[in-house]
Amino acid sequence: MENVKEFMADVIRKNPGEIEFHQAVEEVVESIAPFLKENPRYTEANIIERMIIPERTVIFRVPWLDDKQKVQVNTGYRIEMNSAIGPYKGGLRFHPSVNLGILKFLAFEQVFKNSLTTLPMGGGKGGSDFDPKGKTDTEVMKFCQSFMSELFRHIGQNTDVPAGDIGVGAREIGFMFGQYKRLRNEFTGVLTGKAIGWGGSLIRPEATGYGCVYFVQEMLRTRGEDISGKVCTVSGSGNVAQYTAEKLMELGAKVVTFSDSAGFVHKEEGFTKEDLKFVFELKNVKRGRISECAKALKGCKYIEGQRPWGIPCDIAFPSATQNEISEKDAETLVKNGCYVIGEGANMPTVPDGVKVFQKARILYAPGKAANAGGVSTSGLEMSQNSMRTSWTRDEVDQKLRQIKINIHESCVKYGREKDGYINYVKGANLAGFVKVADAMLDQGVV
């Protein structure tokens, strides 16, 4: 790569319409371009040109019968992006917005994230445009079985190990694991996020949210501060949002918002542990909408059609989806005194929003560093499965905490700028890149 502009023009021409993928690639190449110039061996071997093309992409038809015996059909995908440092690893997303470009962005990000964890995992991502919302358990099961009836050919404990993401939680992982086991006639750790009774790891459900808070603790430490007493806005109300809130409350911070795709709820004095129990039950068991909190919880207001970024806070935890913080939202956050961002979601801030945060010199952790706790603990689940053992809650939590501390150190090492400011975007991208790129150099032209 000689020139970022020309390189990106080529990426856009070869991957038409995949805007999220273009965005993710541009962010990485912009931050590693000076390093590539200083280290021509990577450019001579066309490493970045190779990294942006998936090693393999599988797209398949997923037909299934709904409860009325009507035939439904969705598209299934698995992007096997890079296996230089280990088997492909990354979640499955079930959401109507899913398309090739979104999954390629997620798979590309995953390569860097997994490299940062220090564990031997390559990068992949997959999913379907299937919408689990409003479907019965039987319909979800039938879809998952049909999805796995094709996917099973392409994955395996030493090849590709999927996990959950938006719309894929314990229920979906269970149905997919059951079908895989039936088709292969073997019990292996082919999926992570399994239930504890049949191969899952303690702390895996909590890991992305907890890990994001641990990373923010490390960032605050660089300024001699801690998290207790901080006012925090959280977006989303799914897996990542729930456990981010749980850890924040445990550490004495005040969580004032949750959201879903229809709007957000705000409780100025902070949600209590009892309130959080209600949210867990509402989202994980009843599968209801976040607006219901306003009716059930004292002092809680519902604001329809908006995101929580107008609420003043010290720390914001975007934990719903990509591009949920616009440039204007970023300006509002900074103007209202927010000075730490911990991205639980993948790429939740638009590029101009990231520039706002960096210009304001606030502590800004991009998703691939902040939310890597989920995949790290998936890696720990794989180790436990291979060793046919299980570690205690404390053991896994300690390992997770240490991994997050290590990721923070890598970001500081590669991201500290001349004026002392830690550019976590540059740090995460460079640290993630070097390990994968060196492995690719070692392994020749493959």
Under the binding rule (CB under 6 A), the answer on residue 371 touching ligand NDP is: yes
The token pair that represents 360 in the structure block: 């304001």
Q: Considering beta carbons, is residue 114 or 149 the nearer one to ligand NDP?
A: 114
Q: Considering beta carbons, is residue 258 or 339 the nearer one to ligand NDP?
A: 258
Under the binding rule (CB under 6 A), the answer on residue 238 touching ligand NDP is: yes
Q: Which residues of 61-83 are buried (b: 16+ CB within 10 A; e: fewer)?
A: ebebeeeeeeebebebbbbbbbb
Please tell me what DSSP assigns to residue 196. G
Q: Considering beta carbons, is residue 205 or 427 the nearer one to ligand NDP?
A: 205
Q: Which residues, in sequence order, are bridge partners of residue 74?
A: 62
- Selected range binding ligand NDP among 42-50, 61-69, 177-185, 255-263, rule: CB under 6 A: 255-263
Among 176, 345, 380, 403, binds ligand NDP (CB under 6 A): 345
Please tell me what DSSP assigns to residue 90. E
Helices (H), 281-392: 292-296, 327-335, 351-359, 367-370, 373-387
Please tell me what DSSP assigns to residue 310. G
Residues that contact ligand NDP, how many (by CB under 6 A): 23
Among 31, 74, 179, 208, binds ligand NDP (CB under 6 A): 208
Catalytic pick from 89, 104, 113, 125? Answer: 125
The token pair that represents 44 in the structure block: 């001579």
Among 236, 308, 353, 415, binds ligand NDP (CB under 6 A): 236
Under the binding rule (CB under 6 A), the answer on residue 164 touching ligand NDP is: yes
Q: Considering beta carbons, is residue 7 or 94 the nearer one to ligand NDP?
A: 94
Of 50, 99, 109, 105, the C-alpha closest to 75 is 99
Under the binding rule (CB under 6 A), the answer on residue 260 touching ligand NDP is: yes
Least Cβ distance, residue 80 to ligand NDP (angstroms):
18
Least Cβ distance, residue 99 to ligand NDP (angstroms):
13
Under the binding rule (CB under 6 A), the answer on residue 115 touching ligand NDP is: no
Q: Classify the C-alpha dihedral 282-288-294-300 as positive or negative.
A: positive
| Cα angle, residue 261 at apex, residues 260 and 262 outer, rounded to 5° | 90
- Selected range binding ligand NDP among 24-32, 57-65, 116-124, 315-323, rule: CB under 6 A: 315-323
State yes or no: is 125 an active-site residue.
Answer: yes
- Selected range binding ligand NDP among 9-17, 166-174, 383-391, 407-415, rule: CB under 6 A: 166-174
Give the C-alpha separation, 403 to 78, whole Å. Answer: 27
Least Cβ distance, residue 410 to ligand NDP (angstroms):
18
Give the C-alpha separation, 182 to 168, whole Å. Answer: 20
Under the binding rule (CB under 6 A), the answer on residue 379 touching ligand NDP is: no
Under the binding rule (CB under 6 A), the answer on residue 308 touching ligand NDP is: no
Please tell me what DSSP assigns to residue 420. S
Give the C-alpha separation, 58 to 132, whole Å. Answer: 22
Q: Match 């808070």 to its residue by tokens.
A: 213
Are 357 and 332 in contact by the 8 Å Cβ rule? The answer is: no
Q: Considering beta carbons, is residue 165 or 246 the nearer one to ligand NDP?
A: 165
Chain residues that interact with ligand NDP, rule: CB under 6 A: 164-167, 169, 208, 236-241, 260-262, 319-321, 344-346, 371, 374
Active site residues: 125
